[in-house]
A and B are shown apart, each in its own frame.
Chain A
Amino acid sequence: MKKVELFEAILALETPDEAERFFMDLCTPREIKAMKERWQVCQLLNEKKLSYRAIRNETGASTTTVTRVSRFLSDEPYQGYSRVLRKLAISLPLMCNIEAYALKIWSMKAVEHEALNAVEKGFREGLEDEGDDIRSDTCQGSLVLAEQIAAKAVSTGGDIIVAIGTMPAQSVFRYAKDGKIKLIATSITDPSAIPTSAGTNTAIVSNFVPLEPQLGLFKKIQPGLRRLGIIYNTGEANSVAIVGKLRIIAPAFSIELVESCIQKSSDIPQAVAVLVKKVDAVFVSNDNTVLGGIEYVIRVFTREKKPVFVSDTDQVEKGCLAALGPNHVDIGRQTAKVIQRIKKGEDINDIEVQYPSSTELYLNKTVAGKIGIEIPKGILEKADKVL
């Protein structure tokens, strides 16, 4: 006889009474007691309120039992405990009014980067009180590593992967499409890079801020702005998408766009040298490569008394003149909200693309003084932060 036949027999049980009769016949009283004890330990462990020792005292189980259950609950590949716990948690709230259940969440960052770290911080804060099991990995900018991390997250019984950045999101998307895991792609500038459609188990939180208000702001701060330089990495999908849009809208602001392309951060000095004489100001959007070397851009442009505009508010204190952009921690919180909606039972496929709910304006008055630009009063009043 195969093991399966026994399990099929167990599946035939329908009521608690029926189950009790069956197990009383099947097991010795000792076995029943041991199983009952393990299940109680498992539930207590899942609540994460008591220490192992406290659980031992409460249930009378040995410490060995407690650690064994704990190991099977979190590390062993069967994940039967957690599956049943989750099933009970989904069906029980309706009956017993239990609060939302805890999930196993994997966070996958494209690279170590201030903005992406801020997003991660935001969504961890947003889920602080929920008791979810959140684990983090960084893909180090490598597609292959992203693939392996995705496989690890999927196979260890994760519920949700939060992919921070386009690259990890694309790597996980395949698994989400096959229904193996739910994907929340966050910090995505160009949502069309991830072909979501019905039934792909994917939700997107974008960090895209419309470019028109940004150009309008630059023009108000610096009315003489005619030639706007932009430095970007031709290898970053987000940047290429932004520059494509800028090309279309710039003429409406009577701005001429002067592009300068780089491939790696060591190309920045040359790109800046070529650009600085040609333009009135420079704009650096959410380009991770250029932002990595923003200090150099700022130094050269400030020396020439020309401003540096950015879309990343965190960069203003480094010496950029102004930024109108999303707050990355807020994007993280928005991501946390999407997770909470899913927990409450909403279908992930019904969640539309989320755009930043608010933008923040940061200004740097010290820099303005240094380069001889006077920021109009109206704009200073509107700013969320003036340095």
Chain B
Amino acid sequence: MISVQEILTSIDIGLIFGIVAVGIYLTFRTINFADLTCDGSFVLGAAVSSVLVKYGTNPYIALFVSLIAGGIIGLCTGILHVKVKISDLLSGIIVAFILYSINLRIMGNAPNITFMDNESVFSGRDTTLTLAGITFFTIAALISLLFSGFGLKLRSTGYNRKFGPIIGINIKSMIIIGLMLSNSMIALGGGLFSQYQGFCDISEGTGTLVSGLASVVIGEKVLQFKKEPLLILSCIVGSIIYRIFINIALNSDVFGIKTSDINLVTGFMIISIIAARRMKKNDCA
């Protein structure tokens, strides 16, 4: 049986990683750029916010600085791609690679910082509600941006890179802005996660991309929104569903399933969601 506490934890983590999934959506879907910076920028956000909170900065300001730091890293990846002409995959990989050392520097060369006694955005408040508030605010801002004329230009980058320049859209700057937006979201997620846990570890970025992409796909298949800005919302829902999947897998020990098998179980659940939707479509046709 899955308990309320577990579901709440899944929702908490789902909301945090939902913001990360939105970041991944912005690159992989909106501007069609396979950005692998995310594993690094997630830890960057966590590191920046942890260090600031540890030395007594207001936790909200710390989150904001994380967001800015992520944006700067996105800018770096963008410049590598647009100006230095390194391919999208490689520029992301290089930046994430470099970030490992930078993150360690930020954390004062310690791979692990704890600040459980310091004030975080969650102190004295209901965790889930706080997270829901922060997520809502972030998503609302992002959706209104994507619905604007500027957002239309940004989205066109993903659809047709040849056509944009003809009607006067500067594709290169759109790619850079997209990367900045995306990585600032991911770093914000990292900052939130570190404050949620009360510590930050240099290894916590591993798997960010995989869980984020899985969330994006689950959200798209389950909600099936057609209008693009709304798809942002489905990332959050997808992320929560993904965490609940893991929860179900964790609770399948009655069937002899061990923790080491949960990737298998979660993977199958994701495949079955996609397959179920596919079959339904075929029926209609």
Contact = CB atoms under 8 A, between A and B. Distances in A.
Asked if A and B are interacting partners, one says: yes
B282 interface: no
A149 B202 CA distance: 20
A152 B111 contact: no
Contacts of B9: 147-148, 151
A154 B114 contact: no
A67 interface: no
Interface string B74-114: 00000000000000000000000000100010000111101
Nearest to B263: A140
Contacts of A154: 5
A77 B251 CA distance: 13
A82 interface: no
B13 A147 contact: yes
A174 B197 contact: yes
Contact of A155 (B5, B207, B253): B5
Given A236-B111, A263-B100, A145 B246 contact: yes
A237 B250 contact: no
B203 to A, nearest CB: 5
B137 to A, nearest CB: 23
A237 B112 contact: yes
Contacts of A173: 116, 198
Contacts of B119: none
A151 B6 contact: yes
B259 A139 contact: yes
A123 to B, nearest CB: 18
- For chain B, give the interface size range: 35 or more
Contacts of B114: 170, 193-195
A151 B8 CA distance: 9
B247 interface: yes
Contacts of A195: 114, 116-117
A140 B199 CA distance: 18
A159 interface: no
Given A77-B3, A142-B207, A148-B246, A167 B10 contact: no
Nearest to B249: A148
Interface in B1-48: 1, 3-6, 8-10, 13, 17
B243 interface: yes
Q: Of residues A137, A143, A147, A193, which shows the largest number of chain B Cβ atoms within 10 Å of its Cβ?
A: A143
30 contacts: A77-B4, A135-B253, A136-B259, A137-B250, A138-B258, A141-B203, A142-B206, A143-B201, A143-B203, A144-B13, A144-B204, A144-B207, A148-B13, A148-B243, A148-B250, A151-B6, A151-B9, A152-B6, A152-B250, A170-B114, A170-B198, A170-B201, A174-B197, A177-B116, A193-B114, A234-B109, A234-B111, A235-B104, A237-B112, A240-B111
Given A149-B250, A152-B247, A170-B198, 14 more contacts: A75-B254, A136-B259, A139-B259, A141-B206, A142-B207, A144-B17, A147-B9, A147-B197, A151-B6, A152-B251, A167-B201, A174-B197, A234-B104, A235-B201
Interface of A: 75-77, 112, 135-145, 147-149, 151-152, 154-156, 166-167, 170-171, 173-174, 177, 193-195, 234-237, 240, 263
